[in-house]
Every structure is written in structure tokens, then in C-alpha cells.
Amino acid sequence: MTDIIRLTAAETAARIASGELTAVEVAEAHLARIEAVDEKVHAYLHVDREGALAQARAVDAKRAAGEPLGPLAGVPLALKDIFTTEGVPTTVGSKILEGWIPPYDATVTKRLKDADVVILGKTNMDEFAMGSSTENSAYGPTGNPWDLTRVPGGSGGGSAAALASYQAPLAIGTDTGGSIRQPAAVTGTVGVKPTYGGVSRYGMVAFSSSLDQGGPCARTVLDAALLHEVIAGHDPMDSTSIDAPVPPVVEAARSGDVAGLRVGVVKELGGEGYQAGVVERFNESVELLRGLGAEVVELSCPSFTYALAAYYLIAPSECSSNLARFDAMRYGLRVGDDGSHSAEEVTALTREAGFGPEVKRRIILGTYALSSGYYDAYYGSAQKVRTLIARDFERAFEQVDVVVSPTTPTTAFPIGERVDDPLAMYLADLCTIPVNLAGNAAMSLPCGLAPEDGLPVGLQIIAPALKDDRLYRVGAAVEAAFVAKWGHPLLEEAPQL
């Protein structure tokens, strides 16, 4: 018998289309898997059993009636709990939205439903997507399926852990500073941050609006491409949505030819402070690309060394403004409304009770950076650094087609190690942040295990804005070469749960 939960999304869709499997069988197999292992992993905050089965039944009925099915029809998916889902709780990992049932679907949610994808439930995340470990969730941490005492990365740790523990073949994440790519790296899965504006932000709870970008998460490059195509494309409901055709990502993932491609290695995304095993796997990936016919070019992007500092001014500034909407008046938690407090006091009491420590730290930091007298030195300077980083990327892409780097400086760290040391936590996004500041596209995919701890290492591929297809072309080539070398996908080496 086929182990349904271990099939790729592409295989699952093909078997449903051919009638070899029904969408209901596939949904039930995943719901049973969730039942069996999620108590240990805690990838999901909410499992929508009835909704998933109803959607699966609808797919099977459509097929029986001979109606056309989408490329991912009947394939189950784990949705990050930052996207609104009509009638299904959406918490953003925060107590301030506990019990909130949105009255509308995010555009991403709607496109998934329209494509007949089966949404299994909502996944755990750092509160308001602020974090690199999922420990900032108000609902408890998620374990890394490779070692449950370690973090699955963050903020999208739930989505990545769901994939790595075969609780869904597809997931959706959001990436403001690395929240799709860093969890993918430390769980041995694939994650893509599309070009800014490539995927609609409508109904995606805002953290830092000029950086936030939703994107696909999967176990293979082709699956990520299939999902990318479903969720991407212009949306009039998002004024920052790009009105241009979706790059040919699926075609690129099926080609995987890198002969003659110029690949840049940036000096500033590596070196001191990187774990030895991460460097070893990265160097091996570069050699592998060379062996596949790519030309490797060494580059310098000097302003990248300021990216982390600029990010931790820009993101908190935008968050302090965005999160002002949580005022206890229209939805969500309300505390202290006992007749003795004014509306303003109720707002302050509610925000104090409803937000966790990292969210408060960032709101205060952002309020500080935007204060009169400090604005030019902090927020203003950070915006200039953003220009310099974009220029560094422009210069790099004059010489190369893609840039590669390690996705993260280290493998998954132990739960609890960095939770009260914000600066140490922020370092997890050192290599991913420049991409968000410039708004271009990037992918993380597995490139092996670090010898010293046996944990997954991610290779980051970066492409210019609107050239997302290059990520898939290079990613597919690297993935195929590694799988041939290992004899199996990396995730098969993960321990049984």
C-alpha cells in the first residue's frame, strides 16, 4: 500500500486526477497523521477537520462529474495562522486575537480554495510573525521534527514542521525577514519568498508592510512551484500587488538546467560566526553547481553588513504603526471594560494583557525610532541603508544571474536558548534579511546535514525582482543532484516520530 502522507504534492494530485486515490482518502490519511504525531510536534494551532473533509468531498464530486480539476486539486495544505479564513479561527499566534473568527478569506486563502486545495488547518507561528524560533507563540512552541528539543525556526515554524513531519505536503508561510526561508533551512524543507508584491497581502495580518511577503513551502522544489503558481498574481485588493504576469516558475522547476548560469557568492554572507558544518555544506553546494556547468563568481556587497541593523529599525517602526489597530474596540480581546476605565485605558490594559514580550519590545523600539528627534538618526538612516542594499544587489545582478549563500548561520538551536536574548535571536536572519529590504526573490532548499550535529542545512538562492523562475531552475538542479548523490530525499533521514 502506498504511504499517502509521504507522496509529493505533484504525485498526490496526479493520483487523485487518475482516480487511484480519492481526495477524501488523502485528507483522512493526513488527519490521522496529525492525530498521531502533532501532540509531540505542535505544528497546528487549529485543525479544521470538517472543513478539510468537505473540501475533499467536493473535489471527489467534481472529478466524478467530469469537471476540470486544478493542478493541486485535493492536495492537503497547512496554512500559517496569519491568513484570515472565513469561519475558521485566526490568531496570528497572539492572545489578542484568541477566539476571533474572521468574516472573510484572505486572497491567498481564496485562491487555495478556488484551486481545490484542501486546507487542513492553521499552523503555529511566532506572535505576529515576530521571531525566529516559534517560541514567541502565545500558544506554546513547536518542536523541530529532526529533534523535538530544538526550534523549527520562525516565524513560520509550524508550517515547516508540518511538512517535515508529513502532516501536510504543502504549506503557506510569510517572510518579513526570513520567516519562510529560515524555518525551511532548519527543518530540511523548501521555502520561497517571492518577489515583493508577487503574492497578495490582502487578509494577511500586517507586521511590516513594506517587507511582508507570503509564499509557498513544500518538501520539493516542483511542489513549491506548483503552489507558487496557485497563490501568486495581481490582486486589486492589495495596492502593492504587482500587475505583471507570474514568472514561469513551474516550467523552470521542470527544466532545472543551470549550464552556463552565472552564480554569485557574496563575501559578506558567510565567514566568521558561521557554524563549521553549515560552511562545509554550503561550499559543497557551490562545487556541485560548478559541476553542473554553472560559472561561480565571487562578489562583495559591503552594505549587507548593515542589513540586520536597518531591519531592526524598519520592521519595528512599521509594526508599531500597524499594530495600533489592536485597540480592543472592533474585534479581539478587551480587558478592563468594567465601567471604571476610559476607552484609552481599556486599550492600554488590553494591549498589555494581549501582546507577548517580543511584540511589546518591537512596538516600543519602533515608537522610539519614529520619535521626533530620533527619526533621522534611526528610521531615516535605516531607509538610506535600504537604498544601499538595493544598489549592492543591482551591481551583483549585473555580473551574475543568481546569488547563493547559506540560509542561516547555524542549524536549529535548542528551545529556550535564545528566547530572552533578542540580539542572539535576531542573528538567525542575518543572511535572509537583505532580500526583504531590497524586495527581490529567494528560496531555501536542503543541502545536507551538518556533520557535528546531524541537523539540516539550507542553501539560499537569491534572484532579482520578478525573476522568481530562476530560483526554481537552480533549485531543481541542485535538488536533483543532491538526491542522486544521497540516494533519497534528505527528509528520509529524519527520525521516525
Partner 1 sequence: MPGITREEVAHLGRLARLELSGEELDHFAGQLDDIIGAVARVSEVAGEDVPPTSHPLPLTNVMRQDTVRPSLTAQQALSGAPAQEQQRFKVPQILGEEA
Report, as residue numbers or ranges, the catalytic residues.
80, 155, 179
* Residue from 128, 207, 355, 472 in contact with partner 1 (CB under 8 A): 355
Contact 194/81 with Cβ under 8 angstroms? no
Site string for partner 1, 459-478 (x = CB under 8 A): ------x-------------
CB of 278 to partner 1, least distance (A): 22
Question: Which residues in the 179-208 window bind partner 1 by CB under 8 A?
Answer: 196-197
Question: Which residues in the 394-423 window bind partner 1 by CB under 8 A?
Answer: 422-423
Residue 244 binding partner 1, by CB under 8 A: no
Question: Which residues in the 314-333 window bind partner 1 by CB under 8 A?
Answer: 320, 324, 327-333
The residue (of 113 and 341) whose beta carbon lies closer to partner 1 is 341
CB of 103 to partner 1, least distance (A): 4
CB of 57 to partner 1, least distance (A): 26
* Residue from 286, 341, 493, 497 in contact with partner 1 (CB under 8 A): 341
The residue (of 33 and 386) whose beta carbon lies closer to partner 1 is 386
The residue (of 373 and 487) whose beta carbon lies closer to partner 1 is 373
Q: Kindly tell me the burial class for residue 377, based on how many C-beta atoms sit within 10 Å of its own C-beta (0-12, 13-18, 19 or more).
A: exposed
The residue (of 125 and 242) whose beta carbon lies closer to partner 1 is 242
Residue 114 binding partner 1, by CB under 8 A: no
* Parallel/antiparallel/unpaired status of strands 170-174 and 76-80: parallel
Site string for partner 1, 130-149 (x = CB under 8 A): --------------------
* Residue from 17, 69, 100, 297 in contact with partner 1 (CB under 8 A): 100
* Residue from 62, 381, 417, 453 in contact with partner 1 (CB under 8 A): 381
Give CA torsion, residues 218, 223, 226, 229, to 10 deg: 30
* Residue from 334, 483, 486, 489 in contact with partner 1 (CB under 8 A): 334
Residue 165 binding partner 1, by CB under 8 A: no
The residue (of 396 and 445) whose beta carbon lies closer to partner 1 is 396
* Parallel/antiparallel/unpaired status of strands 118-123 and 44-47: antiparallel
* Residue from 296, 309, 483, 497 in contact with partner 1 (CB under 8 A): 309
Q: Kindly tell me the burial class for residue 204, based on how many C-beta atoms sit within 10 Å of its own C-beta (0-12, 13-18, 19 or more).
A: buried
CB of 427 to partner 1, least distance (A): 10
Question: Which residues in the 426-445 window bind partner 1 by CB under 8 A?
Answer: 437-440
CB of 148 to partner 1, least distance (A): 28
The residue (of 340 and 496) whose beta carbon lies closer to partner 1 is 340
Amino acid at 347: T
Q: How many residues of this chain interact with partner 1, rule: CB under 8 A?
A: 71
Residue 364 binding partner 1, by CB under 8 A: yes
Phi, psi of 154 (to 5 degrees): -170, 165
CB of 215 to partner 1, least distance (A): 15
Residue 378 binding partner 1, by CB under 8 A: yes
The residue (of 276 and 377) whose beta carbon lies closer to partner 1 is 377
The residue (of 255 and 367) whose beta carbon lies closer to partner 1 is 367
Contact 311/437 with Cβ under 8 angstroms? yes
